[in-house]
Amino acid sequence: MKKSVGHGAFILILSGLICKFFGGLFRLPLTNIIGMEGIGIFQMIMSIYSLALVFVSGGVTNALSKLVSSARARGDHKIIGSYLRYGLLFSLGLGILFAVLFFLLSRPLAAVQGIDEGANCYLLVAIILPLGGFVGVMRGLMQGYNNMTPTAVSQIIEQVAKFGFGLVFAYLLSRAGVARGVFGAFLGILTSEVLASIYLAYRGLQIKNLEFNKAGRREFFVASLPLSFGGVIVPLAHAIEALFIISLLTRAGLSKAVATSLYGLQTGVVGAILNFPLIISVAVAVSLLPNISFLVAKGDRQGQKLLIEKSFLAMWYILLPLVVGIMAVAGGLYPIIYPGLLDGFNKIALQLTYLSGLSIILTAIMQFLLSILQANGYYSYSLAFSLIGGIGKIAFIFIFAPMPQISIYAIAISNIVLSLIVSICVLIKLGSLIKLPFFDSVLPILSAAIMFMIVKIFLSLMSGYFALFIAVILGMATYFILSLPLTSKYFKIVVDKFNRKDEKLEEQ
């Protein structure tokens, strides 16, 4: 393959950084515009929207990425147009079906969540979903060609448009109340999906020699149906959580307003910061899927092992210090980016950050492993393992969230339970395909742990903007010095690639 996992991951990481930058900029002022209760409402509706969107497009994106890549490895280019045809029929059909359901059930759905004022937002969600389905199909097609640029550019278009239009609409409409401000934010999301769809349609028209016939129907649905159902498990678990979390927390003795604010704290404040490192794991997983699929189609098991090892260790080396670093500086960071907003919630925010940091690390591992499982064609296993993990998460939420001693912490702990269950199941199934060197795996953990302690000690002695900046520099230096063998190794790889940039890669 002419483009490596590293090349595709780099493009997606770069776009992910841009997207997270604008996403963070979007959430911070949005939280200040609509308040903690407003961001709680926004997050509850987003959970339901994300569930429907993953069902409409997530499985199809991964299925097309694998099927198109495998077809290219076999030299069967004619069948790619058929895969695209079935992808569009499947995603747009589901998108329209969900749109009708949201139009009919917007008020009952908002009432179940305890946010009657959010019903109008679900009407906007109904319009967004078919567009999201189209976007997912086109991204999957391009990824199957190992071309991550259209995905990256469309993601940037989405985030920049959501930032610009969403904040303007939220600000203007929030004058009429919190619910109107939330509606304005979703109006910005609708605008962003329209613009992304236009761009991807243009890129799709540039692909030549696509034949639309009835071939490949069975292969498409064998791949897409389990991946669609499997991909929807985690968002479904989060949606069920969003539907019932307020009532569960009120049973723990919290008022409705405090429960909603705490949910907004966990998902909209802590989550907005800690989800940032997942840029790395998502980029690696998305790039890994077509590359592993290509090797599977070629029957190159040894190539798979080598690619998996290198991809995971590179992800692990970068992801771990990012997560642990955020956990270390969170106590000084939150008062700066959310001035006055977390009064009375600072201690809880810090505790949630530590728990959520562990869940993010395990989520990254789970995403990586599921990508390998799907690339090897184990679609039903991907569905089954995700289902078991999702059931474990929901069971934990319903049992422990009503307990006053646990309450809101049940969300972060349940995410840990989910990731552990799925990851263990995948490791058992994949067996000897995944073998990692002990030293390269453990050294980043030890380096990150020492970095955490040094940064925490420094911030206990100093405070303020300048101290936080110095703490970040100190943490980075500590990690890279302690992990010097790996730092040198990866630096050498980058230099070698730069020196060979004009050489053509052999077709694998």
For residue 493, pLDDT over 80 is answered with no
pLDDT of residue 489: 66
For residue 232, name the pLDDT band (cuts at 50, 70, 90).
confident
Query: Is 472 contained in some domain?
Result: no
Listed in sequence order, the residues at least 6 apart from 354 whose beta carbon sits closer than 8 Å to its beta carbon are: 327
pLDDT of residue 13: 65
In terms of pLDDT, which residue wins out, 249 or 78?
Answer: 249
Query: Is 277 contained in some domain?
Result: yes
pLDDT of residue 496: 52
Query: Is 161 contained in some domain?
Result: yes
Give 79-97 pLDDT, tens digit per residue: 888 888 888 888 999 899 9
Share of the chain above pLDDT 70, in %: 88
Angle at Cα 361 formed by Cα 360 and Cα 367, nearest 5°?
A: 85
In terms of pLDDT, which residue wins out, 501 or 395?
Answer: 395
- What's CA 406's distance to the chain center, in Å? 26
Query: Is 25 contained in some domain?
Result: yes
For residue 379, pLDDT over 70 is answered with yes
Which residue type sits at 504? K
Please give the structure tokens belonging to residue 470: 């110095």
Residue 92: Cβ within 10 Å count: 18
pLDDT of residue 506: 43
Query: Is 210 contained in some domain?
Result: yes
Decide: 393 and 414 in contact? Cβ < 8 Å.
yes
First to last CA, the chain: 5
Q: What is the mean pLDDT of the chain?
A: 83
User: What mean pLDDT is predicted for residues 229-233?
Assistant: 77
User: What mean pLDDT is predicted for residues 55-69?
Assistant: 83
User: What mean pLDDT is predicted for residues 418-447?
Assistant: 90
User: What mean pLDDT is predicted for residues 208-214?
Assistant: 68
In terms of pLDDT, which residue wins out, 470 or 435?
Answer: 470
Helix, coil or strand: residue 466: helix
Decide: 126 and 102 in contact? Cβ < 8 Å.
yes
Residue 491: Cβ within 10 Å count: 12
Give 257-296 pLDDT, tens digit per residue: 888 888 888 877 788 788 778 877 777 777 777 788 888 8
Number of domains comprising the chain: 1
User: What mean pLDDT is predicted for residues 495-504?
Assistant: 47
Distances (CA, A) of 166 to 245, 344, 473: 26, 29, 34
Residue 94 buriedness (CB in 10 A; 0-12 / 13-18 / 19+): buried
Decide: 195 and 161 in contact? Cβ < 8 Å.
yes
Where residue 94 falls (left for φ over 0; alpha for ψ -120 to 50; beta otherwise) is alpha
Give 435-453 pLDDT, tens digit per residue: 888 888 899 999 999 999 9
pLDDT of residue 501: 45
Angle at Cα 22 formed by Cα 333 and Cα 351, nearest 5°?
A: 30
DSSP per position, 151-187 = HHHHHHHHHHHIIIIIHHHHHHHGGG-HHHHHHHHHH
pLDDT of residue 348: 85
Query: Is 89 contained in some domain?
Result: yes
C-alpha span between 142 and 223 (Å, rounded): 17
What are the strands, taking DSSP E only, across 321-471? none
Give the position of tokens 């959520």. 356
Segment among 109-113, 307-311, 444-448, 484-488 with least mean pLDDT: 484-488
For residue 58, pLDDT over 80 is answered with no
Residue 257: Cβ within 10 Å count: 12
Query: Is 508 contained in some domain?
Result: no
Compute the CA torsion angle 425, 277, 274, 374 (nearest 10 deg).
Answer: -30
Query: Is 455 contained in some domain?
Result: no
State the residue range of the domain holding 298.
Answer: 5-436
Listed in sequence order, the residues at least 6 apart from 43 whose beta carbon sits closer than 8 Å to its beta carbon are: 242, 263, 264, 267, 268
For residue 182, name the pLDDT band (cuts at 50, 70, 90).
confident
